[in-house]
Structure 1
Amino acid sequence: MRAKPIALLVATCCFPSLVSAGNLVIESWREDGKIWNETIIPAFNAKHPGITVTYKHTPATDYNTALNERLAAGNAGDIITCRPFDDSLKLYQENNLVDLTDIDGMENFPSFAQSAWQTDDGSVTFCLPLASVIHGFFYNKSIFKELGITPPTTNEEFYAALGKVKASGKYTPLAMGTNDKWEAATMGFQNIGPNYWQGEDGRFALLSGDGKLTNSEYVDVFNQLAMWGQYMGDGYQTRTYNDAIAMFGGGNAAVYPAGSWDILAFKDKIDLGVFRPTVANKGDDCFISDHTDIGIGINAKSSNPEDAKTLIQWMASEEFAELFTNALPGFFSLSNHFIEVEDPTAKEMLAWRDTCDSTIRNSYQILNRGTPSLELEIWETSVGVINGTMSPQDATSRLQTGLDGWYKP
């Protein structure tokens, strides 16, 4: 019942050289090779059987360095999975990514989606937007039912729920650690923060200089994080990201501060529920981090640029958008195609867009370019506050002082 995507028709009728046989390698930090190899690539080959596609995974922590080394050596893959904003902008500025502004199918992506992979003036789009991820909290429905807990909507209800789990003595209330640092920032600060700094209004205020990280709303975010440690269980300071996944997935914890990308980690392991970041008072406006997370681009030095363009154009289609969204639940297509989301947890998180305003992580656009990096400073301050080694006021002062050292609006 789906019509053949316009991008495929154009690629077939107007670029005859694009259907020539070739080999393509996709560079990515995502551990999704099985899904690409068994689901996505075969769907592409059904339309383009002469193009061989190989998915190459590099661990996320090593991806930027390894990719840059391969690009410099001239042996990087043809297709580059793009992180949002500055990491990919730098790749384009160093002539490693092709200008995709006018590629067929780009019109399927709204301007906000393209902005994560554009030059500052918006004149060039160098990666095709693929997906966003949404933040919230996963919970174990069986534990909540056993302890008589209702999914919270306010901060008061949130801490009452955690307190009830702690009092039971049977489960860890909050499955997160501070060992790897990024979770404290990503699933802590950037998860609950938008409700305090009012989403995009607060983010743009930082960019313009009208807002300061020492303002009360940022102190309030850290005040919340300062309360988390008492609910995270013994040894949380050495608990890794994978440890937290194992704890929650094994049924030993009640709540997991989450990104939607972790849906697959818990699928079919527990009775998984989800609630959005809580607000201070019932009826308050709500905001969610709906972060532009993944794009896809073409290596400017690819030995097979025409076939690479064919793959990118197919990725702009409705067929790919629906396939990708449902093969990888929790990664939400950034295209304007209508897609029926199948996974119930992903579907519930996506529905938050109907009742809450969306924003992105406030450290990613422009504010991460200097030294010290705002993103890395949020890692350090979030860990310090949760661990109780830094006060909320000291954390906000450190963030603003660091930003003032190099950023001039």
Structure 2
Amino acid sequence: MTRTILKGMLLASSILGTAGIAHAQDVTLTIESWRNDDLSIWQEKIIPAFEAKNPGIKVVFSPTAPTEYNAALNAKLDAGSAGDLITCRPFDASLELFNKGHLASLNDLSGMENFSDVAKSAWTTDDGATTFCVPMASVIHGFIYNKDAFDQLGIAVPATEAEFFAALDKIKADGNFIPMAMGTKDLWEAATMGYQNIGPTYWKGEEGRAALIKGEQKLTDEPWVEPYRVLAKWKDYLGDGFEAQTYPDSQNLFTLGRAAIYPAGSWEIGLFNSQAQFKMGAFPPPVKNAGDTCYISDHNDIGVGLNAKSANADAAKKFLTFVASPDFADIYANSLPGFFSLNSTAVKMADPLAQEFVSWREKCKPTIRSTYQILSRGTPNLENETWTASANVINGTQTPEEAAKKLQEGLDSWYKPAN
């Protein structure tokens, strides 16, 4: 009997010992994020897909409210209690984290070869030497339109600036729809869905943006003033009282079927799909003349990096390599229509409106918003100043030339291009 008990004890200790070894190999990774609206997608789709191929690594997605994220994350990083993986906002906020030593370099990470320089630009040092977050998604600008309204009025999708204004004139003359749903009260709407939407067509996307940073072009040059001249013409098509119209007002005007065109960011797709009772389509910013190269703002929105002090760096890098893969790109982009993968491998979108937006990458040159990299670090902040200038130009309280002059003077007061 003693021998039987001894055997049982040895067997039990052997089993426990094996369980202890298995447990020791288990690693739990925590992801910090400000996106709390996509929690279910991480829990139900992304994390299971990773864990199935990486036994022994568990992943916990732990979001903070968007308005609290920056402060909460900085406090955790300073205290050494932040998660292993840090969701990265674009440009300066994440660059500051890298410069403080909170984010690790990902230059040698397997999978980074899947991203272009434009895709990586929001999470790369000014000298281009180090990338510190894996690009996850971007948002694309253009125009969403009410297909039923266009069919009713016999309007073809405009491709050129002249066709665009001819369509607006036809909608206005008919009188059943507000031609375009956009307000200027919230300021950012005028800049983001106005100036940064159509502007790349005139300053030639990355070519103009790079020239502005280098000091080879100024905001008073024609390519930067001309989009303001075009915006000034929008005033006649925005409906009564647009100066007091907020961003949610604009969304409602369009989804309720009262406006025919909505200057858009692709992030509207999910909401519009759930609210609009009519067929929708989308078109890219019109070109000046037929046959011109078209440009789109394909703006980097979200990435993910490695906490430089993570105790689980090897496991975290495995997860980041997964984020850099076409498999992740497909899951993420199709789960969140309107947030497009930055991976070089094209993702076929199940949502037709999202597929329309992403198809423009095949025919248009991508760029990012002109104010976001380097040029908004000083005071006055060029991004915020552009909000005000864009609203003023549309309201008719400032001429395009006056707006451009004020923006350039503000930039000159603190920014000196590197020679």
Q: Provide the TM-score with structure 2 as the length reference.
A: 0.86
1:320 matched to 2:331: no
Equivalent position of 1:227 in the other structure: 233
> Contact 2:29–2:85 at 8 Å: present in 1 too?
no
Amino acid aligned to 1:263: I
Instruction: Label 1:227 to 1:327 Cα distance change in 2 as closer, same or farther (>3 A).
Output: same
Q: Distance in 1 between matches of 2:250 and 2:383?
A: 22
What whole-Å deviation, never above 9, does each CA across 1:186-224 have from its counterpart, x for those lacking one?
A: 111111001111112211211121111001222211111
Q: Distance in 2 between matches of 1:220 and 1:72?
A: 46
Structure 1 residue 327 displacement after superposition = 1.3
Greater alpha carbon shift after TM alignment, 248-257 vs 32-41: 32-41
Structure 1 residue 261 displacement after superposition = 2.0
Equivalent position of 1:383 in the other structure: 391
Structure 1 residue 45 displacement after superposition = 3.3
Which structure has the larger Rg?
Answer: 2
1:245 matched to 2:251: yes
What whole-Å deviation, never above 9, does each CA across 1:21-49 have from its counterpart, x for those lacking one?
A: 32513312463233333332332333346
Q: Distance in 2 between matches of 1:135 and 1:380?
A: 20
- 397, 403, 408: which one aligns with 1:395: 403
> Contact 1:36–1:55 at 8 Å: present in 2 too?
no
CA RMSD, 1 decimal: 2.4
- 110, 125, 129: which one aligns with 2:131: 125
- 66, 87, 92: which one aligns with 2:93: 87
Equivalent position of 1:53 in the other structure: 60
What whole-Å deviation, never above 9, does each CA across 1:47-85 have from its counterpart, x for those lacking one?
A: 3465142241423x5543454344445554443221222
> Contact 1:91–1:97 at 8 Å: present in 2 too?
yes
Equivalent position of 2:10 in the other structure: none
SS in 1 for 2:233: coil
Q: How does 1:98-113 map to 2 (within 5 A)?
A: 98-113=104-119
Q: How does 1:3-402 map to 2 (within 5 A)?
A: 20-29=26-35, 31-48=37-54, 50-59=57-66, 63-267=69-273, 269=276, 270-302=278-310, 304-402=312-410
SS in 1 for 2:94: helix
> Contact 1:245–1:265 at 8 Å: present in 2 too?
no
Structure 1 residue 274 displacement after superposition = 0.5
Point out where structure 2 has 5 or more consecutive residues left out of the alignment: 1-21
Amino acid aligned to 1:253: A
Q: Distance in 2 between matches of 1:40 and 1:336?
A: 19
Amino acid aligned to 1:54: F
Amino acid aligned to 1:153: A
Amino acid aligned to 1:22: T
Instruction: Label 1:18 to 1:107 Cα distance change in 2 as closer, same or farther (>3 A).
Output: farther
> Contact 1:381–1:395 at 8 Å: present in 2 too?
yes
Structure 1 residue 338 displacement after superposition = 4.2
1:405 matched to 2:417: no
Equivalent position of 2:8 in the other structure: none
> Contact 1:172–1:232 at 8 Å: present in 2 too?
yes
Q: Distance in 1 between matches of 2:236 and 2:387?
A: 19
Q: Distance in 2 between matches of 1:169 and 1:67?
A: 51
> Contact 1:141–1:272 at 8 Å: present in 2 too?
yes
Structure 1 residue 287 displacement after superposition = 1.4
Equivalent position of 1:6 in the other structure: none
Amino acid aligned to 1:112: V
Instruction: Label 1:282 to 1:42 Cα distance change in 2 as closer, same or farther (>3 A).
Output: same
> Contact 1:194–1:287 at 8 Å: present in 2 too?
yes
Q: Distance in 1 between matches of 2:317 and 2:68?
A: 27
Point out where structure 1 has 5 or more consecutive residues left out of the alignment: 1-15
Structure 1 residue 102 displacement after superposition = 1.4
> Contact 1:155–1:280 at 8 Å: present in 2 too?
yes
Q: Distance in 1 between matches of 2:25 and 2:303?
A: 23
What whole-Å deviation, never above 9, does each CA across 1:279-312 have from its counterpart, x for those lacking one?
A: 2222222211122222111233446545433322
Amino acid aligned to 1:238: A
Instruction: Label 1:132 to 1:339 Cα distance change in 2 as closer, same or farther (>3 A).
Output: same
